[in-house]
Amino acid sequence: MRVLAVGAHPDDLELLCGGTLAKYAAQGHHVTMAVATNGEVGSMTLPKEEIAAVRKAEAAAAAAVIGADFVWMGYPDEFLFSREETRLAFINLMRRARPDVVIAHSPTDYHPDHRNSGQMCWDIRVMTTVPNIKTEYPVCATIPEIFYMDTIAGISFQPEQYVDISESFEAKRKMLASHKSQGGWLEAQYGMTYLEFMEHVARFRGLQCGVRYAECFQSSTTFPRWCKPSLLP
């Protein structure tokens, strides 16, 4: 299978579905990790261009942990909107990755970049197969199935399906640890490191489904749907 995960910011995928992506990769599936924005507001001290470059390198290193293809879309952090140009870029991304499965942000997530990124994945999935919409890559043969990943801290997210990530948890930790530039702010605001934050959520989701560590997903529920077994690992 081919899997495409689209995160709004560098580190979102590692936090919200990194264990599942590591599990897909370990099972021999092809994984693409795409980051929509450049993370340029993610520093209290470095200027925009500098922190964006740092975060791009960190995200690339995280993808390399599991041998995933890495796509950096480079839209301005905090200002990702659904308009013609961005939708064409998302269509082109999907045509490049040619996924059977797309993992996207939930419509109930707190951040507008998350919601807009997830909404665009959903809105353009059929358009990837339409030849009269031209982009750099050729049209997809099939419409991919989309799963929504958990929200930050699991707030307002009702899990439908769980993935046991106990075996891939160390890979997830290593992926997230690549984002060294993000080490400070969470600790300052919430009194825990981002690795501790991630582990709390993975343990809690594991508690819900009877394993050590888990990640959870929702399937999308509008037309078109697919008559096949779950494509989650």
Burial classification of residue 216, based on how many CB atoms lie within 10 Å of its CB (0-12 exposed, 13-18 middle, 19 or more buried): buried
Matching residue, tokens 């299978």: 1
Residue 185 or 226 with smaller CB distance to Zn ion: 185
What's the min distance (Å) between Cβ of 187 and Zn ion?
Answer: 17
What's the min distance (Å) between Cβ of 149 and Zn ion?
Answer: 11
Residue 8 or 62 with smaller CB distance to Zn ion: 8
What's the min distance (Å) between Cβ of 185 and Zn ion?
Answer: 13
**What angle is formed at CA 228 by the lines to CA 117 and CA 162, rounded to 5 degrees?**
60
What's the min distance (Å) between Cβ of 114 and Zn ion?
Answer: 6
Matching residue, tokens 């030849």: 131
Residue 12 or 150 with smaller CB distance to Zn ion: 12
Mask: binding to Zn ion, 152-191, rule CB under 5 A, as x and -?
----------------------------------------
DSSP string of 136-158? SSPPPSSPPEEEEEPPGGGTT--
- The size of the chain, in residues, is 233
d(Cα 166, Cα 44) in Å, to the nearest integer? 34
Scanning 1-9, 63-71, 85-93, 221-229 for contacts with Zn ion by CB under 5 A, the matching segment is 1-9
Return the DSSP state at 128.
Answer: G
Comparing every residue's Cβ against Zn ion, the nearest one is 9
Alpha helices in 79-214 (DSSP H): 84-97, 112-124, 169-177, 183-190, 194-209
What's the min distance (Å) between Cβ of 182 and Zn ion?
Answer: 10
Scanning 8-16, 25-33, 92-100, 135-143 for contacts with Zn ion by CB under 5 A, the matching segment is 8-16
Backbone angles phi, psi at 113, to 5 degrees: -65, -40
How many chain residues interact with Zn ion (CB under 5 A)?
A: 3
Binders of Zn ion in range 121-140 (CB under 5 A): none
Binders of Zn ion in range 9-68 (CB under 5 A): 9, 12
Contacts with Zn ion, residue ranges (CB under 5 A): 8-9, 12
